[in-house]
Structure 1
Amino acid sequence: MIRLAFLLGILASPALAAPAGPATIDGVTPVEVIRRGEIIAEAQLNPLPIPVNRAQTVLRMGDVVGRQARRDLAPGQPIRTYDVQAPEAVKRGEIVTMVLAHGGMIVAAQGRAMETGSIGDTIRVQNTVSQRIVYGAIAEDGTILIAPVAAPKLPARLTALN
């Protein structure tokens, strides 16, 4: 009899009660249509609980605010990693300032962006005077930072003269 009471007590415990539902994470969904290319603001988003087993690519609020929509985003649909990107800092065809800093010397020139990119991306840029293509990283202010090229090795007979 004691065993039966003990067994019924265990079965009635809240720990063994039927689960309330699948575990969820807080994803986000737009409250209005967000157009492709638009920078996403927090006021345009609404939290949305999403089952963990379906949330592998779903983003949270902090991952979306300030990013740029890659496509039109519909209300009620979770925002996924491939729906947003870092905002474009430079657009293809745009005139930019290229900066090369090496040692104490800084050289700046005008160039045309051959690719679209975000801050930190390395893109191709064409010098508008020489028409040469160089690669540089996009800085926060939109300038293109060109890495200095290593000096060529001089023959031993020339380095002995120095």
Structure 2
Amino acid sequence: MKYLLFICALTAANVSYGETLVAARTIPSHTIISPADVAIKDGNTLGALTLLEEVIGQEARVAIYAGRPIRRNDIGAPALVERNQIVKLAYSNGVLNISVEARALGRGSAGDVLRFMNLDSRTTISGTVQDDGSILVTK
């Protein structure tokens, strides 16, 4: 019986259960992740990403230290709008089209709802970041 347990333990130790993506170097937050930033480590880590396609081209939302697993909440789509950036704000309702310049009060990527300050009236407006970096206001 002891011999059988020893063989099972030895077999389990040599089996790879998958791969985990880890940071090859320390990746500062707001950095676009390139292939040189990622390494593959044998074994599964709970919550860690396993596919290079999910990581390459994404932006680090937090600092990811070398050797640490890369988790889904650590990365996201690259930001198109930076805080204090001047952007085009557009509102359209039928035949009424309004376009003004506004200052971003936050940082975000396509699809994020951010607050903006209209530079003419100094009022705060919420809008959705579009794929081209413009802002669409809906009400």
Q: Give TM-score scaled by structure 2 length.
A: 0.80
Which structure would you say has the larger Rg?
1
Name the residue aligned to 1:37. 30
Q: Counterpart in 2 of 1:58?
A: 48
**1:75 matches 2:80:** no
Counterpart mapping for 1:1-162 below 5 A: 18=8, 19-21=11-13, 24-51=17-44, 54-55=45-46, 57-60=47-50, 61-147=52-138, 149=139
Question: For the residues of structure 2 that align with 1:128 and 1:100, how far apart are their CA atoms?
Answer: 15
Runs of 4+ residues deviating >6 angstroms: none
Q: Distance in 1 between matches of 2:90 and 2:17?
A: 48
TM-score between both structures, scaled by the size of structure 1:
0.70
CA RMSD of aligned residues (A): 2.2
Q: Aligned partners of 1:125, 1:33: CA distance in 2, in Å? A: 33
- What 5-or-longer segments of structure 1 have no aligned partner? 1-11, 150-162
State the alpha-carbon separation in 2 of the partners of residues 71 and 115 from structure 1. Answer: 16
Higher relative contact order (CA 8 A, sep 6+): 2
Q: In structure 2, how many angstroms separate the alpha carbons of the residues matched to 1:123 and 1:100?
A: 15
Alpha-carbon distance in 1 for matches of 2:27, 2:125: 35
Secondary structure (helix, strand or coil) at the match of 2:57 reads: coil
User: Between Structure 1 and Structure 2, how many residues are aligned?
Assistant: 130
CA distance in 1, matches of 2:121, 2:135: 17
- Asked whether the 8 Å contact 2:104–2:116 carries over to 1, the reply is yes
Structure 2: gaps of 5 or more residues: none
- Partner Cα separation in structure 2 for residue 74 and residue 115 of structure 1: 25
